[in-house]
Structure 1
Amino acid sequence: MQLNSIKPATGAKHAKRRVGRGIGSGLGKTCGRGHKGQKSRAGGFHKVGFEGGQMPLQRRLPKRGFKSLARPFVAELTLADLQKLGTDEVDLLTLKAVGLVSELVRTVKVVKSGEITRKVVVKGLGVTAGAKAAIEAAGGSVAA
């Protein structure tokens, strides 16, 4: 390969449409803009979503839902996750070190999903009533 022999891929380059160059070109006279009206004139376009004065679609439809800004800072942990975890003491730093929760997380809540049979001591995490009962039934404890 030589620098002077490099060419773009076939179909990558194509001739620009040349308007206003006579009848034979197929784009003479009105140059593909039709006759009269706003769209035929230079600078004659309206903003995106404009429907000629009719209430635009994005304003006719109802607003719905919301995204919590606290979401990246709160995490949920299941009993199944605790079962898989190798350590006996579980706190926020342990979970971050293992990679079960994101580094951004500030609060974690243990929920009753799955089963736990190991003895685990949970420290400084939120725990639902069902999850607390399951942890204590397995011989573990929950410390605030």
Structure 2
Amino acid sequence: MKLNELSDNPGSTKNRMRVGRGIGSGKGKTGGRGVKGQKARTGVAIKGFEGGQMPLHRRLPKRGFHNPFSTDYNEVNIGRIQQLVDAGKLEASSPVTNEALIAVGLLSKPRDGVKILGQGAITAKLAFEVAAASKSAIAAIEGAGGTVKLLTAPASE
């Protein structure tokens, strides 16, 4: 087998349709666009237009609300962090931050920071520098001899 002997299977590729090349080609004159009007011209996109009838996206009621000030945290349980410490991926000497968790591959995106949740058990003495933490997580971390430093001020309740 040589490089110049390679070829596709017969019938696997088709030649592209050459439009506007005379009436004998089958796609001549109007080039498959029909006749006249706005859509026969180039650069036209009438998306959602229903011939004057009220379009579907305007007939349906508006729904929902997007809060531009909402926070999107990466939630991490303390049991998962203890697994990383046991596996030797996370060092007890360095603080546990958003960047550190991305570096070990637990998180993929920084988002608005990390929120530590209290699922699981923790035995390692760790220093956390995170955006938020649940009360049960803080109690478990401080019970193991660690510290929690919240980077953002907690919202008033």
Give me the whole-angstrom Cα distance separating, in 1, the residues matched to 2:66 and 2:13: 43
Find 2:116's aligned residue among 87, 110, 118: 110
Is 2:146 the counterpart of 1:141? yes
Q: Identify if the C-alpha distance between structure 1 residues 133 and 70 changes in structure 2 by more than 3 Å, giving closer, same or farther.
A: closer
Report the AA paired with residue 57 of structure 1.
Answer: L
1:94-140 per-position Cα deviation (integer Å, ceiling 9, x unaligned): 32332223464562210122x11413323322321011122234x23
Aligned to 2:36: 42
Partners of 2:125 and 2:146 within 8 A in 1: yes
Q: Are 1:109 and 1:128, in contact at CA under 8 Å, matched by a contact in 2? A: yes
- Which blocks of at least 5 consecutive residues in structure 2 are unaligned? 40-44, 86-90, 150-157
Partner of 2:92: 88
- 5+ unaligned residues in a row in structure 1: which ranges? 22-26, 34-38
1:24 match: none
TM-score calculated relative to the size of structure 2: 0.56
Q: Is the 8 A contact 1:123 1:142 kept in 2?
A: yes
Hey, what's the Cα distance between the residues in 1 that align with 2:37 and 2:54? 23
TM-score (norm 1): 0.59
Corresponding pairs, count: 127
Q: How large is the RMSD of aligned CA atoms in angstroms?
A: 4.0
Correspondence 1:98 to 2:97: no
CA gap 1:9/1:49 in 2 versus in 1, 3 angstroms: farther
Q: Is the alpha carbon distance of 1:47 and 1:103 closer, same or farther for their aligned partners in structure 2, counting shifts above 3 Å?
A: closer
CA distance change for structure 1 residues 120 and 105 in 2, over 3 Å: closer, same or farther? farther
Select the structure of larger CA radius of gyration.
1
